[in-house]
Structure formats: C-alpha cells, structure tokens
Structure 1
Amino acid sequence: MQLHDFYLSGNCYKVRLFLGLIGQPAELLTVDLPHGAQKHPEFLALNPRGQVPVLVDNGQPLVDSQAILVYLARRYADAHWYPLDAVAQAQIAGWLSLTANEIHNGVARARIGLKFGRQVDLEDAQARGRQVLELVNAHLANRTWLVGEQPTIADVAVYPYLAMAEEGGLELAPFPYLNSWLARIRALPGYLDLPHFQGARRTE
C-alpha cells in the first residue's frame, strides 16, 4: 500500500491519521506540490484531478480523502469505524459532505489564506468557519462522538481542519464541547500528531 502524500495537507493528514488509528502500514510517497508534481503526467495517470492524497492498494489507485477513508474502513478497520447500519452510514455521509463543502470552504480555506499565502476571501472563509465550529460544538454538547457511541470515519474526516482552525485565525477557546472532542481524538491509540509548519511559509 502506498500513499501519495503532502505533509502539510489536512486531507492527506486525515488519511495518515486513520492509517495510524487502525494500525495499517503504508509507504508514504511525498508529492512535491510546491513545484507542481501533482500536474505531471505520471501523477495525473493516478488522479486526473491532480490532487493529493492518492492511495494505491493492490495496484488500484483511490482518490479523494473521504472516499479513501470509506475504503480503508470497510477493508481494513474494525466495524465501528464504518457501521453497516443504514442510519449510521447516512449520518456519516452527511459529515463527509460537510467536510468536503462547508469545512473546505470555511476553516480550511482560511488556513490556506493565512498559512500558505493564497488569495482567498479571508473574511468570508472565517465567517463560514465560525458557523461550522458553532455547529459542531452544539452537536457535541450531549455526544461523545459525531455518530454513535464509538469513533467513526466521520470523526477522522472532520477532525483535522477543525483542530487546525487557529492557523486560519479562528479561536477554539469559545467551543468547550468541540475542544473536549478534539482531546478525545488525540487520546485514541495510534493517534498521529497534526502537521506543523517549519521554517518559512510554504505553498500547498
């Protein structure tokens, strides 16, 4: 199993995190995003979108971090990570959708603007980000995990960019239930630490 990866990407991190949580080894292959390696023909043959992460398992390339989580959960993880129950699966799908839309366009985009120097509407991204933080905090007021009584891939998908919200100029202190949930994830066996910036600003 190989993971085509970029260390600072939150979407790549969520796949690395899940691999750690389920104890599944994978070879990490760094994609040189700052120099456009994701647009080279050999990479586009794996993912025509030109995006990381890409997981290759038994010769099969799989793209999109949310889809990769579903694959890994079904093939390699204990059942609680992606239950067979239809209601639970629908609820998980809702959180994966939130990750790809509201979180991406809010918290993640604010981080890209501040940490990577991209041109974004920072005020709009931060406003969207605060709405997501408020939503998740309220959801967790009487819950331990986002879906059900055990952690699922919903928690893994939502965690990274919310945990790094302060890199997008968003304060986490006002959200006690969210912070307790973040701490529970960090306490899980196999947890991998968040990516940290080193040196000068880099381009994602």
Structure 2
Amino acid sequence: MPAIQLYSTPFSGHCHRVTLLLNMLSLPFEVKEAQADVRKSAEFLRLNPLGQIPVLVDDEHVITDSNAILVYLVKRYAPDSHWLPEDPLQAADVQKWLSRAAGEVRFGPASARMVKQFSAPESMESARAVTAKFLPQLEQHLDAHEFLATARATIADLACYSYIATAPEGGISLATYPAIQRWLTRIESLPGFTPLPALPLPEDEK
C-alpha cells in the first residue's frame, strides 16, 4: 500500500492539480474518495477542520490546501527539479501565479463551472466579470511565454491548468484565446498527464 493518500473527488480541479503532480513525479498514491458526507465526518475533520479537499497524507504528515500540497511534494520529492525553481525571481513568479490560481482562476472560471455544473451558491455575474478581465491578461502573457513562470512547466502551470481547461463547462468559451489553447496543449503533452473527467457542456458551449 502506498504511503501517500489523497483525499479527493473525481471532478475537483483543486484535487486534479495535485493528481497531475503526483503522476508527473511518478509517485504512487492511494485515492480516498471524499464526497460531501465524508468531509463532514469526525475522521475527516481531524485531518482538515475546514472540511475541504484535497488533503494529502504522507506517512505522519497531513497537508491541506492544494497549492500548499504542490509545494510540499516538490520540496520533499523533487527539490532540484524545474517544478519549483530556487532562483529568487523565478520562485516569485511561481508564487504570483499560485496566487492567481487561488484568486482570479478560482473566482472566475472555476466559480462559473461550479454554478453551471453543481448549482453552487455563487454569483455567475461575478464569475463572468472576473473571467472577462483575467483571460485577456492570461492570453497576452502566454502569447509571449510557453509556460507561466519559467521556460519549463512549474507547479504554477498545474495550479492554473484544470479550471482554465474546463472553463467551457462553466459556459466560458476559449475560442478567442489561441495562446491559452496552445498552453493547454503543452500541459496535456507532459509525461504523466491525466485529464479531468469531462462534464456536460452547457448548451451555449456545444
């Protein structure tokens, strides 16, 4: 049995970014299904009092928050890799994009997908407004860069990928963003890539 356990659900982009890195680092792990009822259990709340996924258990270590898990995995298992550079400026750029993953990506395309697909009690109007401001900025950046922070993929790319790739599931078209589409393809060509299971597209995205 692998030492690493990942509490997750199949359609969560937050969980998917962790799964991507685990696969790309060739780390064996066990998936522990954590639907809503599990996340309310006393056992799960001992792992994460917030009741949120993903949660990574690595021997005696319990790490919560998807971006924190990405940092932990690289620092423990691939400290000299391209995934999280030591160069101060490059590390700062990675952190900047991790913040955008937790900010504009989460409250833009991720929020729109949650509303469309899961009837989440969030504002579609706000999600669309955040997305409309962010995607042109992302397009401009990726028109001049192959990856977000450095010349190679980093955890910043994985943190942002899942909810950008599934933006159409929230009714957000990527048709007018060719640089973003090329970036998505580059991520999908990385060794160990596995896609998020597809959800139905809204009628206006078919």
The TM-score range, normalised by the shorter chain, is over 0.9
How many Å apart are 1:196 and its aligned residue? Answer: 2.1
Contact 2:63 2:69 in 1 (8 A): yes
1:127-150 residue CA offsets vs partner (Å, 9 max, x unmatched): 211222111111111111111111
Out of 142, 152, 155, which is 1:153 matched to? 155
How many Å apart are 1:120 and its aligned residue? Answer: 2.2
| Alpha-carbon distance between aligned partners in 1 of 2:35 and 2:142, rounded to the nearest angstrom | 37
Counterpart in the other structure of 2:193:
191
Counterpart in the other structure of 2:32:
29
Indicate whether 1:14 and 2:13 are aligned.
no
1:127-181 residue CA offsets vs partner (Å, 9 max, x unmatched): 2112221111111111111111111000000100000000111100100111000
Counterpart in the other structure of 1:72:
73
Identity percentage over the alignment? Answer: 42
Contact 1:126 1:169 in 2 (8 A): no
| Alpha-carbon distance between aligned partners in 1 of 2:71 and 2:197, rounded to the nearest angstrom | 22
- Please give the residue correspondences for 1:77-156 in structure 2 after superposition, counting only pairs within 5 Å: 77=78, 79-156=81-158
Counterpart in the other structure of 1:164:
166
Contact 1:130 1:170 in 2 (8 A): no
How many Å apart are 1:45 and its aligned residue? Answer: 0.4
What value does the CA root-mean-square deviation take over the aligned residues?
1.2
Counterpart in the other structure of 1:201:
none
How many Å apart are 1:119 and its aligned residue? Answer: 2.6
Which structure exhibits the higher relative contact order, with contacts defined as CA atoms closer than 8 Å and separated by 6 or more residues? Answer: 1
Contact 2:97 2:149 in 1 (8 A): no
| Alpha-carbon distance between aligned partners in 1 of 2:136 and 2:167, rounded to the nearest angstrom | 12
| Alpha-carbon distance between aligned partners in 1 of 2:25 and 2:167, rounded to the nearest angstrom | 25
Letter in 1 for 2:64: V
Question: How many residues end up aligned between the 2 structures?
Answer: 196
Letter in 2 for 1:117: S
2:51 partner SS: coil
| Alpha-carbon distance between aligned partners in 2 of 1:196 and 1:141, rounded to the nearest angstrom | 27
| Alpha-carbon distance between aligned partners in 2 of 1:98 and 1:32, rounded to the nearest angstrom | 26
